[in-house]
Homo-oligomer: A and B are copies of this chain.
């Protein structure tokens, strides 16, 4: 099987589509970000990568807090819009009709319509180059009641989606379950 080098590039599948929120000058704003990863289990932490020019980053620095909201496929237009326009120019909350609520993390606005909402406090900021990597401690996780099954988050009800860089860049839904984790691999030992 042949391989082609396409130059060093950020090609990992899948990346999520998240809406990262912060209060900027006291008003909630949200930015669509695919570059979000989990960083630690205990304490729970995640990372998001933003360009330093981002309006949202101004708010993150003001409060040293931010949110990560996971939209469902129903919100694909709104999510994409939050990746096209800047909060410096438009009121994204108004245009998208987001109902914003807060937990106990000041400066971390949460979107009611998004099934999963994480409120985070900044732990570290790494200036890496074109992007800053913000590591946040997850202080709260909120899940919409209608996305729970037996009290636990149910991905079939959350219906998140994938960002594919393309070209053409696009969004994909989740597909079929293919295997049980921490289980199917045991077949390798048979």
> Chain A: residues with CB nearer than 8 A to chain B?
1-16, 18, 34-47, 49, 68, 70, 73, 76-85, 95-96, 101, 103, 112-113, 116-118, 123-124, 126, 128-131, 133, 135, 137-146, 148, 151-153, 155, 158, 160-164, 166-189
Contact = CB atoms under 8 A, between A and B. Distances in A.
Counted per complex, copies of this chain come to 2
A14 B11 contact: no
A42 B186 CA distance: 40
Given A14-B14, A117-B3, A185-B82, A175 B173 contact: yes
Given A5-B141, A126-B135, A173-B178, 20 more contacts: A1-B146, A4-B144, A5-B140, A6-B141, A6-B153, A7-B141, A8-B141, A9-B141, A12-B38, A12-B68, A14-B162, A39-B126, A40-B130, A40-B133, A76-B184, A78-B185, A79-B185, A80-B179, A81-B188, A82-B185
Contacts of A42: 129-130
A163 to B, nearest CB: 7
Contacts of A83: 181-182, 185
Contact of A116 (B13, B78, B148, B181): B13
A158 to B, nearest CB: 6
Contact of A84 (B7, B14, B182): B182
